[in-house]
Amino acid sequence: MCSKCSTTAAPSALSRRDFLKLSGAGVAGVFAIGVMGSGKVLAQGTLSSEFQTAADKYGVPVELLMALGYTNARWETPPVETGDYEPGDLHGMGGYGIMALKQDPATNTLGRASELTGIPEADLKANRAANIEGGAAVLADIQGTTKPSDINGWYDATAKFGEGDLFANQVYETLQDGASRETGSGENVTLAPQPAAEPRQFYTAQAASDQYPGSTWYGAHANNFQYASRPPTIDRIVVHVTQGSWSSAINWFKDGRAFVSAHYTIRSSDGFIGQSVREDDIGYHCRDWNYRSIGIEHEGYVSDRSWFTDAMYRSSAKLSAYLCKKYNIPIDRTHIVGHNEVPGNDHTDPGNYWDWTRYINLVKEYAGTASAPRPNTYSQVVDNRTAGRFRVSSRWVTSTYSAQRYGSNYRVLKKPSRTTGNAKFKIKVPSAGRYVVQARWPAVDGYNTATTFMIRTANGWVRRQVDQSKNGGRWVSLGAHNLAAGDGWWVQVSSKSPRQGYIIADAVRIVKR
């Protein structure tokens, strides 16, 4: 275990420290043709063929298996040591191989895979093809005897496989967008976009007004941080790498067994920021400097430079610039440091592939603005009273009943309709790209619990179902979507619903980070 992250000392694990010293070349070269402990002869094939073979054998969509592997590890097999479950270690959430098979007191997908396939656990940990087969077997077993032809029918099984909707949404966003890269072994692998794949509505709250405005709040378990009031003592920013997926890190900080947390976690693909601990509270991320620092996690592995994207660098640098200006932290390598540079520490993240020169220059650039930098390069709010940008039939009446409303009033459809009569918001998208779409409504008991928002993306219409009896008076994320440039009625509130209750149309917002 890491003895330098939490406030409770624990024995250190040399294997994890040794793993962090491995290079990308070391990762790529650990597999070969051979005989597994089970006696099965396993020839190393192409990654694409290994996914296809496992998909065919267990009746799982190959695209879903590929999206799982990409979300977990960008189709690279991490060293075995990174899969160890280690409470007290900031990166000890566990998960072996491309499919992140786990073995901890609460989850044993590794053992389940071994039982289902007959492959020894040691081989499932270390052999790529075996690991993919094990993941397919477990996912198929979770799904049960009925294997849906619609990829969205696998969402619940994916959530159970990855321990929550947050993970499933990240997988399904990968499905929507597709992925393509050259692996460390030189193989070009492509997952074509799957426009039909639909992440589900996941209720998240925007950060409090005194926290970073570009973050989304997820929170951490009370075991994993210390309530405090310490702004005068904050004089360091510590850069970490998750050694796993973005969602696995967020979930780890919410797990009461972890005893660790960082304040912010940044996603590789788009720079999206999740916040787990308030800045003035003490996160358990680097022990000796916990009391004086803010910890920023970055999705990925130190052994694979492809995780450190331009979107990640820029999003993180904007966050660091904001923190430096807010707490008067000098922008230099004495005050913005890696986890490996904290005194008494035994980690090596962010590793040799982290470009410190680029990062510090970006922090200086963003901090040079007249005010604390905000991460949004574009934002637009359309209220139900915005002239020329809201359209609705006379069946939607005006109400001022709830003080949670945005603006002076909102629109109400008292009874779901059997015919189309949507409330429409006209959205201007200045340039094609990925935007976060948000909606706001007042929440009252009796308001509709299955309201559908429709979003026109570059790949077609996407639907998000929300409960309008909850989460009132705040911006609720409807997900990040690829939007085409233009100006149109691209966010709508459906007049149809499978449930009774007032349907609300109040305000929507798009944000480009």
Tokens of 4: 């330098």
Helix (H) or strand (E) holding 228: none
- Give the residue among 373, 263, 346 at the shortest CA–CA distance from 16: 346
Annotation marks residue 63 as catalytic: no
Q: Can you tell me the distance from the alpha carbon of 433 to that of 443, in angstroms, rounded to the nearest whole number? A: 31
Judge whether 149 and 172 are in contact, CB under 8 Å: no
Q: Can you tell me the distance from the alpha carbon of 396 to that of 152, in angstroms, rounded to the nearest whole number? A: 32
Judge whether 125 and 155 are in contact, CB under 8 Å: no
Helix (H) or strand (E) holding 383: strand 378-383
Q: Can you tell me the distance from the alpha carbon of 102 to that of 86, in angstroms, rounded to the nearest whole number? A: 12
**β-strands 378-383, 507-512 pairing:** antiparallel
Q: Point out the catalytic residue in the list 297, 299, 341, 365.
A: 297
Q: Can you tell me the distance from the alpha carbon of 139 to that of 334, in angstroms, rounded to the nearest whole number? A: 46
Helix (H, G, I), strand (E, B) or coil at 116: helix
Polymer length in residues for the chain: 513
Q: What are phi and psi of 471, to 5 degrees?
A: 60, 40
Q: Can you tell me the distance from the alpha carbon of 261 to that of 276, in angstroms, rounded to the nearest whole number? A: 7
Q: What are phi and psi of 96, to 5 degrees?
A: -95, 130
Q: Can you tell me the distance from the alpha carbon of 269 to that of 280, in angstroms, rounded to the nearest whole number? A: 28
Q: Can you tell me the distance from the alpha carbon of 400 to that of 407, in angstroms, rounded to the nearest whole number? A: 10
Helix (H, G, I), strand (E, B) or coil at 165: helix
Q: Which amino acid is at 82?
A: T
Which segments within 173-328 are labelled E, that is strand?
Answer: 179-182, 188-191, 205-206, 215-217, 225-226, 236-241, 264-266, 273-275, 282-283, 293-298
Q: Can you tell me the distance from the alpha carbon of 494 to that of 442, in angstroms, rounded to the nearest whole number? A: 17
Helix (H, G, I), strand (E, B) or coil at 378: strand
Number of other CB atoms surrounding residue 96 within 10 Å = 28
User: Which residues, listed in sequence order, are joined to residue 435 by a DSSP beta bridge?
Assistant: 481
Active site residue ranges = 297
